[in-house]
Amino acid sequence: MWELLAAGGKAMIPIGIAAVVALAIILERFWSLRRKEVLPPNLPGEVRNWAQHRRLDDEHLKALAETSPLGTVFAAALRARHLGREAIKERVEDAGRHVMHDMEKFLNTLGTIALISPLLGLFGTVIGLINMFLAILNSGIGDANQMAGGIGEALVCTAAGLSVAIPAYIFHRHLRAKVVGLGIELEKEVVALIDTIEAEVPVQVAAARRAAK
């Protein structure tokens, strides 16, 4: 296997670097985008319990924002709970953009690797063909070994570039779809929380008025 890769020449170095970076990004994103890390299953119920018992001070909201992407968006909604639905939606949209940006981290790099890997392979192919023609100029067409070496270098680089590009493209599309799906579920959870806030605020206002009397 090593001999086959070495046959690709120096053009295999950037292809190998691209392969390592792509693998690191794929593993890191799969770990970071686990559902329980983005959407902790017990968090919505816990936050609603906080709202019911009015434990929504700055300390609780700061801790909530640090738990997960869902917690970050929840905290933004709860900080604006007394400002009305439109203000809450604006805060949630701002927080949601930052959360989505974090979830999409490194995906542009992965997409770039999927795009340039075939070009790197093509570059190695061209280098191999150039070496083959130079060998023909120096030794004539009678030296089959040098011709075979140039052709082998060209084919190995092409195959290596495609071997990196195809998985990178597949995982890039899969991770993009995963981020979009998680974003939709985040939105559903936040809408449910906003509905809960709107139901709780009038009750709290009425209770405050009764206490004032």
Among residues 127, 134, 178, the alpha carbon closest in space to that of 154 is found at 127
Say what the pLDDT of residue 75 is: 86
Categorise residue 212: left if φ over 0, alpha if ψ from -120 to 50, beta otherwise.
Answer: alpha
Percentage of the chain surpassing pLDDT 90? Answer: 30
CB 117 within 8 A of CB 18: yes
Provide the domain count of the chain.
1
Say what the pLDDT of residue 118 is: 92
Rounded to two decimals, what is the model's pTM? Answer: 0.79
Decide which of 206 and 190 is more confident. Answer: 190
Say what the pLDDT of residue 31 is: 94
Among residues 15, 11, 4, the alpha carbon closest in space to that of 125 is found at 11
pLDDT exceeds 70 at position 32: yes
**Could you give the angle at which helices 107-139 and 144-212 cross, rounded to 10 degrees?**
170
- Environment class of 182 (CB within 10 Å of its CB; exposed 0-12, middle 13-18, buried 19+): buried
Q: Please, which pLDDT band fits residue 80 given cuts at 50, 70 and 90? A: confident
Q: Please, which pLDDT band fits residue 18 given cuts at 50, 70 and 90? A: very high
Note down the domain range covering 85.
2-212
